[in-house]
Chains A and B, each alone.
Chain A
Amino acid sequence: MISFSPSEDQQMIVNMVKEFVNDHARKVYRECDESGDIPANVIDTAWQLGFIASSIPEEFEGFGGERSALTGTLIAEELAWGDLSIAMHILCPALVATPVVEMGTEEQKRQYLPSFCGDQFKVATAALIEPSYNFNPASLQTTAKPDNGGYVINGEKCYVPLAADADLLLVYANESGNTQGFIVEKGTPGLEITEREKNMGIKALATYELSLKNCKVPKENRLGGDAGCDFGRIMNLSRVALCGMAVGVARAAFEYARDYAKERHAFGEPIASRQAIAFMLAEMAIDVDATRLMTWEAAWKLDRNEDATKEASLAKMYADDMVMSVTNNAVQVLGGHGYIRDHPVELWFRNGRGFATFDGMAIV
């Protein structure tokens, strides 16, 4: 039976996230963007809310809540409405936790999951993107080859969030034509994390380039063991997470531009009283809503364990364009003021452009 009404539990979680982002993320996000750092207390406060531990089963010391991609997109939207860098930082450990919960072997679950359920933010991340314009997640340049009963990994990665501090890295590599995940622990010889990247947006999120030179991992570290992982599903879980975040960023920009247009007077009346501005805002509102609903549908399908490649990739394609156009319009509504860093719209505009690039940088 079709319904567009979130459950009471989902509504409660959304309200909790809204409170967190209003009290914390929204208070510091500009400063974070300028300095490149997120205060530890913001991350710690978010960690206490249990975004990661909540969907880890009790037998591995988690809260044992129901894992839902749909609930995940609701959380992603609200966090990203607060700030995209902070959202991606907070959810970064899920880049390892989610694939292990869904596809890990019993041994991998026992070994890794409890570490995501402690009091301290667990730094773990994934390395998927490669530094090339024609990067293709399904056909990676980084290779994993059998070696003495284990694997040897070679390649270059970029846009790896929190890599410098990560205890665990889930490295995706090309294994005889298929993309598979390999858990690489901090300090593994051959793993070299190079400089922190400087990007147009998400400046508060520490991302790194890294190289893997004859980096050897035991065969037990192959995600999912002999069965491997369902990389298509991992990508779809990532797409809906990014879609949710794109909706959050776009909604933030829309709301700011809407409120500004009602305050700002020109020719004796608010600029929102002119159709040229009002119609831009209407279009923004329509596309934000449409993207959210498409994201929900794709996530709903993933929650039923169905293949959602078509739904998730169409939603992502739509979201990439939507967030760019909405944030661009938000800057435009503010005119010259939109270009000044006293207002946040330029920040959302820079962050918005990233979604077409952020493959696999967030997951629900």
Chain B
Amino acid sequence: MIDFELTAEEQAMIDSAHKESLEVIRPLARYYDEHEHESPKDLIARNWQQQAEGGGSGILGLGVGASLRILENCWGDAGLMLVAPGSGLGGAAILTSGTQEQQAKFLKRFGEGEPKWGAMAMTEPGAGSDTAAIQTMAVLDNETNEWVLNGEKIFITGGQRAMDESDGLVVVWATVDKTAGRAGMKPFVVEAGTPGAHIDKVENKLGIRASDTATLILDNCRIPYENILGSPEVRKVDPSQTAGFRRAMATFDATRPIIAAMALGVGRAALDFVKDVFEKEGIPIRYGLPRHELTAMERDIMDMEASYKAALMLMLRAVWMMSQFQPNSLEASMAKAKAGIVVSRITQKAVEMMGPLGYSRKNLLEKWMRDGKINDIFEGTGQINMLIVARRILDYTREQLK
């Protein structure tokens, strides 16, 4: 039965996230945008406490309510939302690929002690969207039964907090056989404090500045054999069908709708800003009139609202399918691609419409335009997601559509 009504529980979750965004997050947003590498310690402690009370939260298996809560969090501030401690994308990979023992061993820390972060390391200086081209090697030392990791990983969201500022972990994607392409790609858990693994650089960014984006150097980094997630076996069959790659992609199917939700949070912040200004000026937005009766401003706002709603619906569908355990690769990429475009367009248009109010750092609007853009880039650029959508609708392999 098609239904758009939220449960009372979901609504309560959203309301409380909205209140927190308004009262706690928004007042901090500008400071941590202008003080890029500082940590909002009180906020982190508060998040950690909330998670302990709420029984923790992973990214996988998130339902409609949680996705809308994340949307509200990002309505507050996308950068500060990403700073929230927890197992993060690293946890998502451990949950999709790890055994019960590995999940127990690696995820336990996120429910106890001091705040900790989990991160995922995929991108390299020479491999972004083309993840099969990664060069980081994992070689098994048969004498010690350890994996030896060598390579350089960049653009790790929360990498510094995971490795330097807490007893966290990073899930590192490395190849056990460079000739095997995607089939050789495996995820490895590298815990904070492991010799040979160190954070080399933290990036200065356009937006989401509260969140650290780090480079991890792996220099003869030795980790126990058991830290590989999934099977070490390399099967040189159809590369897109290999378990290792499939797992990475399964993680994306879960995370992409969440990125869409994050994008929508920023987009709605900008939209609400514009509508608030109009309301204060006493200018109504008149729905239901023919286009020729509307002012240019009304048309712009309605276009923004309609495209926001379009992306919201695609996001909800992708999340709902995930919660029903239905395959959602196509729908997840549709949502991510659309939301990335929509948040960029809405925030850029809002800055334009608000003139001096929009461009000024006195207000947060210009910041949201900078923050929003990341959603069209990370967890697969808009173009990569379009490529995935195109392959799915055409029923094409990567060889048939490059």
A346 lies within 8 A of chain B by Cβ: no
Q: Quote the shortest CB–CB distance from B12 to chain A (angstroms).
A: 14
Query: Which residue from B7, B309, B394 sits with its C-beta under 8 Å from A258?
Result: B394
Query: Which residue from B306, B309, B321, B389 sits with its C-beta under 8 Å from A285?
Result: B389
Do residues B1 and A286 form an inter-chain contact, with CB atoms below 8 A? no
Q: How many A-B residue pairs have CB under 8 A?
A: 140
- Cα separation A137 to B317 with both chains bound (whole Å): 34
B237 lies within 8 A of chain A by Cβ: no
**Contacts of B289 on A, CB cut-off 8 Å?**
136, 138
Q: Quote the shortest CB–CB distance from A24 to chain B (angstroms).
A: 27
- Cα separation A270 to B289 with both chains bound (whole Å): 45
- Cα separation A112 to B290 with both chains bound (whole Å): 31
Do residues A314 and B302 form an inter-chain contact, with CB atoms below 8 A? yes
Query: Which residue from A286, A293, A311 sits with its C-beta under 8 Å from B337?
Result: A286
B80 lies within 8 A of chain A by Cβ: no
- Cα separation A283 to B390 with both chains bound (whole Å): 8
**Contacts of B310 on A, CB cut-off 8 Å?**
287, 290-291, 293-294, 318
Smallest Cβ-Cβ distance to A278: which chain B residue: B390
Q: Could you tell me the dominant secondary structure of chain A's interface residues?
A: helix
Q: Quote the shortest CB–CB distance from B339 to chain A (angstroms).
A: 11
Q: Quote the shortest CB–CB distance from A353 to chain B (angstroms).
A: 14
**Contacts of B313 on A, CB cut-off 8 Å?**
290, 293-294, 297
**Contacts of B321 on A, CB cut-off 8 Å?**
4
**Contacts of A1 on B, CB cut-off 8 Å?**
3, 5-7
**Contacts of A136 on B, CB cut-off 8 Å?**
289-290, 292-293
B263 lies within 8 A of chain A by Cβ: no
Smallest Cβ-Cβ distance to B394: which chain A residue: A272
Binary B-proximity of A116-145 (CB < 8 A = 1, otherwise 0):
000000000000000001111110000000
A166 lies within 8 A of chain B by Cβ: no
**Contacts of B290 on A, CB cut-off 8 Å?**
134-137, 359
- Using a CB-CB cutoff of 8 Å, which residues 272-307 of chain A contact chain B? 272-273, 275, 278-279, 281-283, 285-287, 289-291, 293-294, 296-297, 300-301
Do residues B334 and A285 form an inter-chain contact, with CB atoms below 8 A? yes
Binary A-proximity of B305-316 (CB < 8 A = 1, otherwise 0):
111011101101
B338 lies within 8 A of chain A by Cβ: yes
- Cα separation A271 to B5 with both chains bound (whole Å): 43
Do residues B400 and A273 form an inter-chain contact, with CB atoms below 8 A? yes
B303 lies within 8 A of chain A by Cβ: yes
- Cα separation A282 to B306 with both chains bound (whole Å): 19
- Cα separation A134 to B293 with both chains bound (whole Å): 8
**Contacts of A281 on B, CB cut-off 8 Å?**
390, 393-394
**Contacts of A235 on B, CB cut-off 8 Å?**
288
- Using a CB-CB cutoff of 8 Å, which residues 229-252 of chain A contact chain B? 232, 235
Do residues B287 and A6 form an inter-chain contact, with CB atoms below 8 A? no
Do residues A2 and B306 form an inter-chain contact, with CB atoms below 8 A? no
B64 lies within 8 A of chain A by Cβ: yes
A148 lies within 8 A of chain B by Cβ: no
**Contacts of B4 on A, CB cut-off 8 Å?**
2, 296-297, 300-301
Provided the pairs A4-B2, A262-B394 are in contact, do residues A275 and B401 lie with their beta carbons within 8 angstroms?
yes
Do residues A282 and B386 form an inter-chain contact, with CB atoms below 8 A? yes
B320 lies within 8 A of chain A by Cβ: yes
- Cα separation A74 to B2 with both chains bound (whole Å): 11
Q: Quote the shortest CB–CB distance from A138 to chain B (angstroms).
A: 7
B396 lies within 8 A of chain A by Cβ: yes
- Using a CB-CB cutoff of 8 Å, which residues 353-402 of chain B contact chain A? 383, 386-387, 389-391, 393-394, 396, 400-402
Do residues B314 and A289 form an inter-chain contact, with CB atoms below 8 A? yes
Provided the pairs A273-B400, A290-B338 are in contact, do residues A318 and B307 lie with their beta carbons within 8 angstroms?
yes
- Cα separation A70 to B324 with both chains bound (whole Å): 22
- Using a CB-CB cutoff of 8 Å, which residues 295-345 of chain B contact chain A? 302-303, 305-307, 309-311, 313-314, 316-317, 320-321, 334, 337-338
Smallest Cβ-Cβ distance to A300: which chain B residue: B4
Q: Quote the shortest CB–CB distance from A18 to chain B (angstroms).
A: 18
Do residues A275 and B338 form an inter-chain contact, with CB atoms below 8 A? no
Do residues A314 and B1 form an inter-chain contact, with CB atoms below 8 A? no
Smallest Cβ-Cβ distance to A270: which chain B residue: B400
**Contacts of B338 on A, CB cut-off 8 Å?**
286, 290
Do residues B64 and A2 form an inter-chain contact, with CB atoms below 8 A? yes
Provided the pairs A278-B390, A286-B338 are in contact, do residues A315 and B306 lie with their beta carbons within 8 angstroms?
yes
Provided the pairs A285-B334, A286-B337, A290-B310 are in contact, do residues A275 and B387 lie with their beta carbons within 8 angstroms?
yes
A7 lies within 8 A of chain B by Cβ: yes
A3 lies within 8 A of chain B by Cβ: yes
| B interface residues (Cβ-Cβ under 8 A, vs A) | 1-7, 64, 287-293, 302-303, 305-307, 309-311, 313-314, 316-317, 320-321, 334, 337-338, 383, 386-387, 389-391, 393-394, 396, 400-402
Identify 15 new A-B residue pairs, CB closer than 8 A, beyond the known A282-B389, A318-B306: A1-B3, A1-B5, A2-B320, A7-B1, A272-B394, A272-B401, A273-B401, A275-B390, A289-B334, A297-B4, A309-B287, A310-B287, A311-B309, A312-B288, A315-B306
A-B contact pairs, 14 of them (CB 8 A): A1-B7, A2-B64, A3-B3, A134-B292, A138-B289, A272-B394, A278-B401, A279-B390, A282-B386, A282-B393, A286-B338, A300-B2, A309-B288, A317-B303
| A interface residues (Cβ-Cβ under 8 A, vs B) | 1-7, 10, 70, 133-138, 232, 235, 258, 261-262, 270, 272-273, 275, 278-279, 281-283, 285-287, 289-291, 293-294, 296-297, 300-301, 309-315, 317-318, 356, 359
A-B interface, 4 closest residue pairs, ranked by CB to CB distance from nearest: A293-B313, A290-B310, A278-B390, A282-B389
